[in-house]
Structure 1
Amino acid sequence: MKISTLCIWVVILLCFKGLPTLGQSVTINPSGISPLTPRLSNEAILALPNPQTGDLAYDLTFLCLRVYNGSEWLCSYQDPDNIVPDMALLATTGGTGGSSPNGMATDAVGNIYITGYFSGNATFDNISKTALGYDDIFIAKYNKNGKVLWVQTAGGTSEEHGRDIALDENGNLYITGSFNGTTTFGSTNKTSAGGTDIFIAKYDTSGAFKWVRTFGSTGNDVGNSITVYNNTNIYTAGYFNGEVNFEESPSTSNGGSDIFLLKCTPAGNSVWVQTAGGSGNDQALDVYAESSGAGITGYFYGTASFGTEARISAGGTDMFFAIYNHEGDMNILQTAGGPGADAGQSLAILSFFGSNYYVTGYFSGTATFADKTATSSGGRDIFMAIYTSSFSDPLQLLKTAGGSSDDQGEKIIMNEIGNNFYVAGKFSRAFSIDNLNKSSNYDSNIFIAQFYMNGHINWLKTASSSNVIEVQDVAIDAADNLLVTGYFFNSARFGNFRKTSAGNSDTFLLKLK
Structure 2
Amino acid sequence: MFSEFTSLVKSNFKHTSIFYFCSILLFLNITSNCKAQLTAEWASVPIGIGNNYGYTISVDDFGNSYIAGTFTNDNLDFGNGVILSDSYMDKHDIFVAKYNNSGEAQWAKTFNTNTSTYFNDLIIKATPEGEVYIAGSYTNTEIDFGNEAIIQNDSDSEDIFLVKYNTDGETQWARSIGNSDTDKPKSLAIDSYGNIYIAGYYSSPYIFWGIIKGSLGPFYNKEVYLPIYTYNKGESDMFLAKYNRFGNLKWAKSFGDTGNDVASSLAFDVNGNLYLAGKSDGDFLIPGMETGDTYLIQFDDKGQINWLKGFAASFSKISISAKENIYLAGSYYNNSINFGNGVSLPESDIYQTQTCIVKFNNIGEAQWANKIDCIVEDAWSGNENTGASIALDNFEIIYI
TM-score (norm 2): 0.75
Match of 1:359 among 320, 325, 328: 328
Q: 1:396 Cα deviation (Å)?
A: 0.7
Residue 309 of structure 2: aligned partner: 334
Residue 32 of structure 1: aligned partner: none
Match of 2:240 among 236, 242, 261: 261
Q: 1:374 Cα deviation (Å)?
A: 3.7
Does residue 91 (structure 1) correspond to residue 51 (structure 2)? The answer is no
CA distance in 2, matches of 1:251, 1:385: 32
Q: 1:155 to 1:408 in 2, by over 3 A?
A: farther
Q: 1:106 Cα deviation (Å)?
A: 1.2
CA distance in 2, matches of 1:256, 1:107: 37
Could you report, residue by residue, the CA deviation over 1:214-242 in whole angstroms, capped at 9, with x for unpaired residues?
Answer: 11010111122112111332111111122
Residue 190 of structure 1: aligned partner: 151
Match of 1:119 among 72, 75, 83: 72
Match of 1:165 among 109, 121, 124: 124
CA distance in 2, matches of 1:93, 1:250: 42
CA distance in 2, matches of 1:172, 1:396: 35
Q: 1:206 to 1:344 in 2, by over 3 A?
A: same
* Conservation of the 8 A alpha-carbon contact between 2:297 and 2:308: yes
Does residue 231 (structure 1) correspond to residue 211 (structure 2)? The answer is no
* Conservation of the 8 A alpha-carbon contact between 1:93 and 1:122: no
Q: 1:132 to 1:86 in 2, by over 3 A?
A: same
Q: 1:91 to 1:294 in 2, by over 3 A?
A: same
- CA radius of gyration, larger in: 1
Q: 1:350 Cα deviation (Å)?
A: 2.7
Match of 2:250 among 241, 258, 271: 271
Q: 1:86 to 1:235 in 2, by over 3 A?
A: same
Residue 140 of structure 2: aligned partner: 181
Q: Which runs of 5+ in 1 are unaligned?
A: 1-41, 44-81, 424-513
Match of 1:216 among 178, 182, 199: 178
SS of the residue aligned with 2:353? strand
Q: 1:237 to 1:91 in 2, by over 3 A?
A: same
Quick check: 235-244 or 191-200, which moved more? Answer: 191-200
Residue 420 of structure 1: aligned partner: 397
Write the mapping of 1:58-457 to structure 2, written as runs, cut at 5 A.
84-87=37-40, 90-93=43-46, 95-121=48-74, 123-126=76-79, 127-132=83-88, 134-156=91-113, 157-161=116-120, 163-182=122-141, 183-186=143-146, 187-192=148-153, 194=155, 195-241=157-203, 242-247=205-210, 248-290=227-269, 291-301=271-281, 303-305=282-284, 309-314=285-290, 316-337=291-312, 342-350=313-321, 352=323, 355-371=324-340, 372-376=344-348, 377-390=350-363, 394-405=365-376, 406-415=384-393, 417-423=394-400
CA distance in 1, matches of 2:255, 2:300: 16
* Conservation of the 8 A alpha-carbon contact between 2:71 and 2:93: yes
* Conservation of the 8 A alpha-carbon contact between 1:235 and 1:294: no
CA distance in 2, matches of 1:368, 1:124: 49
Q: 1:349 to 1:210 in 2, by over 3 A?
A: same
Q: 1:283 to 1:124 in 2, by over 3 A?
A: farther
Structure with greater contact order relative to length (CA < 8 Å, sep ≥ 6): 1
CA distance in 1, matches of 2:315, 2:257: 18
CA distance in 1, matches of 2:171, 2:245: 14
Say what the alpha-carbon RMSD is for the aligned residues.
2.7
Query: What residue identity is the alignment partner of 1:110?
Result: G
* Conservation of the 8 A alpha-carbon contact between 1:193 and 1:216: no
Aligned residues: 332
Q: 1:86 Cα deviation (Å)?
A: 2.8
* Conservation of the 8 A alpha-carbon contact between 1:137 and 1:162: no
Q: 1:280 Cα deviation (Å)?
A: 1.6
* Conservation of the 8 A alpha-carbon contact between 2:188 and 2:198: yes
CA distance in 2, matches of 1:193, 1:257: 21
Q: 1:113 to 1:243 in 2, by over 3 A?
A: same
Residue 504 of structure 1: aligned partner: none
Query: What residue identity is the alignment partner of 2:391?
Result: I
Q: Which runs of 5+ in 2 are unaligned?
A: 1-10, 13-34, 211-226, 377-383
* Conservation of the 8 A alpha-carbon contact between 2:239 and 2:255: yes
Q: 1:94 to 1:178 in 2, by over 3 A?
A: farther
Q: 1:289 to 1:102 in 2, by over 3 A?
A: farther
* Conservation of the 8 A alpha-carbon contact between 2:46 and 2:77: yes
Q: 1:159 Cα deviation (Å)?
A: 1.2
Could you report, residue by residue, the CA deviation over 1:435-476 in whole angstroms, capped at 9, with x for unpaired residues?
Answer: xxxxxxxxxxxxxxxxxxxxxxxxxxxxxxxxxxxxxxxxxx
Query: What residue identity is the alignment partner of 2:55?
Result: N
CA distance in 2, matches of 1:88, 1:413: 20
The answer to which structure has the higher strand fraction is 1
SS of the residue aligned with 1:370? strand
Query: What residue identity is the alignment partner of 1:396?
Result: Q
SS of the residue aligned with 2:130? coil
Q: 1:287 Cα deviation (Å)?
A: 1.0
* Conservation of the 8 A alpha-carbon contact between 2:117 and 2:140: yes
